[in-house]
Amino acid sequence: MTGRQQTPEEPRDPLERLLGLLDSIPEVSAQARPNVQVEGGRDDSPTWLTGRGWRVFARVAREATSGGREIAEFELRNGETLRASFDPERKLVFLPFSPAEAYVNYVTEAWTSSDPSRGLSSRQLNAFYRVKRLIPRAAQIRGRRMLIRRQGIPDFPSWPLDTSVSQLLRFYAYCLLLARGDAEAEFRWFWPDSYRAAVILTHDVETAEGLPLAVELADLEQALGFRSSFNLGGWYKVDPGIIRELTGRGFEIGMHGLRHDRSLFSSRAAFDAQRPELASLAARLGAEGFRSPSTYRVFDWLGELPISYDGSIPHSDPFEPQPGGCCSLWPFFIGNVVELPYTLPQDYTLFTLLGQRSPALWLEQADRIVDEYGLIHALSHPDRGYLGSTRNRDCYREFLVALSERSEIWKPLPRELATWWRRRDKAHADEPQVSRATARINDGVGEVEFRPPAGAQSLPGDAQ
């Protein structure tokens, strides 16, 4: 599983890549990493291991020797308890699972295989899309509301915010520090300068009628100092004048697929057939980014799209026809494509399905993401019934006004964020644009805390 994010020349642990320690891991590197004791073998298929306040989906490794002191405890569904331990004599950490595998199983959404009852089957989805255009929109909304009432919001990933990857990353850093015998280590900060978090605004334009509304939305954003991206579809005619105007004003154009249905991911043959057309649409629009229609996705295939970055994977979204989530508040790589997961409830979810009349939930979520030093990624639509309605747009404005006053949040275009994530990934310790942060063991609670780079607070727009 871990192989999918690695290149042959440069095999890299995906979790190590996310953490980005600056000083090299000591010569005994294989041993200095949290060592999973594989004596006796690992179970064949992954399962849930529940720790205190979080859980991972991974294959179980049973410890052959049970020396050292316990650092964490995990419970299996059958009630069996597994220990994570640290042996200070040998400077070895024993874990009942591989942290890299647990990370990959979060971000690839491999955990969904643990719950096949969730969502609709592939055949049901195909049938649904054949008849969907015949169902009035109001009836579709009623249907979605009923489905949510019937199924409820699942326990995992937590909604609206899931901190699984954040917890795993800090646990992993804790194990690394123990194994190295250090109380702290420097790592590449997640964002440029001393920004605490980042925010990007992306929009999918659903109809030709949404295009002039996109320009109105751009006016609103520009007045508050924001730029955003508009993902356009191949199923309506686009006035090139609108693209010129938006890009001329510093906005970005992305791609929302050839047709608004599930066809791209319905089969491998369909995917291969659409790819050349997607490449020419991307060239026509000047698009570097992509969002799949209705966020349908097959993880590995997203990495084969003719794009630089994708924004189709939710951090946690039980409301989409393909529910799920990568549980990550940071970007990650799918092959050479940078994934920018969306991390706020969509406008449709907030205003239409949940009937909210204020941006309170968005603002609260943004605060919690800043606390985790993550990415705030808002996905919305300029069309009628979305932000095209005055009431919804007023809520969106209120949300932007609050964010515009937060100078500790970086506000790049999505494509700039993707470029940054590549740069950070490749950066050496002496790279001046990458700031140094500290991961430090908090002795009192046996956990690691991340300390952002010191230094003067950057002003918005300083970076890039």
Q: Would you tell me which residues interact with Zn ion (CB under 5 A)?
A: 204
Kindly tell me which of 177 and 242 has the beta carbon lying closer to Zn ion.
242
Kindly tell me which of 109 and 204 has the beta carbon lying closer to Zn ion.
204
Question: Least distance to Zn ion from the beta carbon of 126, Å?
Answer: 18
User: What region does 341 belong to: left with phi over 0, alpha with psi -120 to 50, or beta?
Assistant: beta
Kindly tell me which of 13 and 204 has the beta carbon lying closer to Zn ion.
204
Type of residue numbered 442: N
Kindly tell me which of 59 and 291 has the beta carbon lying closer to Zn ion.
291
User: What region does 278 belong to: left with phi over 0, alpha with psi -120 to 50, or beta?
Assistant: alpha
Question: Least distance to Zn ion from the beta carbon of 273, Å?
Answer: 21
Question: Least distance to Zn ion from the beta carbon of 293, Å?
Answer: 5
Question: Least distance to Zn ion from the beta carbon of 139, Å?
Answer: 19
Type of residue numbered 335: G
Question: Least distance to Zn ion from the beta carbon of 129, Å?
Answer: 13
Question: Least distance to Zn ion from the beta carbon of 294, Å?
Answer: 6
Kindly tell me which of 63 and 204 has the beta carbon lying closer to Zn ion.
204
CA distance 395 to 392: 5
Kindly tell me which of 193 and 204 has the beta carbon lying closer to Zn ion.
204
Q: How far is CA 81 from CA 75, 78, 217, 384, 419, in A?
A: 5, 9, 53, 53, 43
Residue with smallest beta-carbon separation from Zn ion: 204
CA distance 339 to 303: 9
Question: Least distance to Zn ion from the beta carbon of 240, Å?
Answer: 21
Helix (H) / strand (E) containing 116: none
Kindly tell me which of 97 and 386 has the beta carbon lying closer to Zn ion.
386
Question: Least distance to Zn ion from the beta carbon of 25, Å?
Answer: 44
CA 116 to chain centre: 22
- Looking at 160-209, list the stretches that DSSP marks H as alpha helix, in order from N- to C-terminal side: 164-180
Type of residue numbered 371: D
CA distance 13 to 277: 34
Secondary structure of 246-282 in HEC code, one letter for each residue: HHHCCCEEEECCCCCCCHHHCCHHHHHHHHHHHHHHH
Kindly tell me which of 68 and 293 has the beta carbon lying closer to Zn ion.
293
**99 CB-near residues (< 8 Å, 6+ apart):** 15, 34, 168, 171, 172, 175
